[in-house]
Amino acid sequence: MQRATGRDQRKERLLLDLLWKACNAGDYGMLQRLLEKHDEERGGGVDVSELGVSPLFANIHGHNEGRTALYASCFSGHHACASLLLDHGLDVNQLDNNRITALNIAGQQGQHACASLLLDHGFDVNRVDNNGGSALHIASHHGQHACASLLLDRSKYDKSQCEMCVPPSGKWCRGDGS
């Protein structure tokens, strides 16, 4: 009996590793098929806790530092994959092992469409990481003007006193190049 459980766990890990890789590659069709297969394996309906938390699903520890499938999708700008994951109930605020969110990485990489999608799904734009930095700080620091502007527009910061979005270079990042 235990051998079957081990086999089932390996099968589950393989299925979910493939899911993460589909997100990373932006393979929407494969992601959709894998989610359907996962639904079948579970008897219908994806367990939301597995989508965002389980090391057997979107947060595979070890080889990817606990980076979620949503993180993988947003890193490379695979908006459609990110949207599909969110439609399946993935926690938009899920953290990786380094307490980085998909919005942090979308801002860093300048993935405007993914950042907008995450915000539309309820991500708290004013949330800060362990270092006290927000997605706005990160986008601004990396010179991602369009993302910084989006985040600034959606934030609760007093825009007239916007020291929060000035990167270490001292240059303003408003999205218009100024």
pLDDT one-digit tens code per residue, 51-99: 443 333 444 434 456 777 888 899 999 999 999 999 888 888 887 777 7
Residue 133 burial class via C-beta count within 10 angstroms: exposed 0-12, middle 13-18, buried 19 and up:
middle
CATH 1.25.40.20: does it fit domain 2-161? yes
pLDDT at residue 124, rounded to an integer? 86
pLDDT at residue 44, rounded to an integer? 55
pLDDT at residue 113, rounded to an integer? 97
Q: Return the structure tokens found at 57.
A: 């699903």
Which one-letter DSSP state was computed for residue 164? Answer: T
The SS3 assignment for 128 reads strand
Q: Return the structure tokens found at 2.
A: 């235990």
Residue 144 parent element (H or E): none
Which one-letter DSSP state was computed for residue 159? Answer: G
Spans in the chain with pLDDT lower than 50: 1-4, 45-63, 161, 164, 166-178
Domain ranges of the chain: 2-161
The residues near 78 (Cβ < 8 Å, ≥ 6 apart) are 23, 25, 26, 28, 72, 114
Residue from 16, 18, 42 nearest 30 by CA: 18
pLDDT at residue 139, rounded to an integer? 93
pLDDT at residue 59, rounded to an integer? 41
- In 31-168, beta strands by DSSP E: none
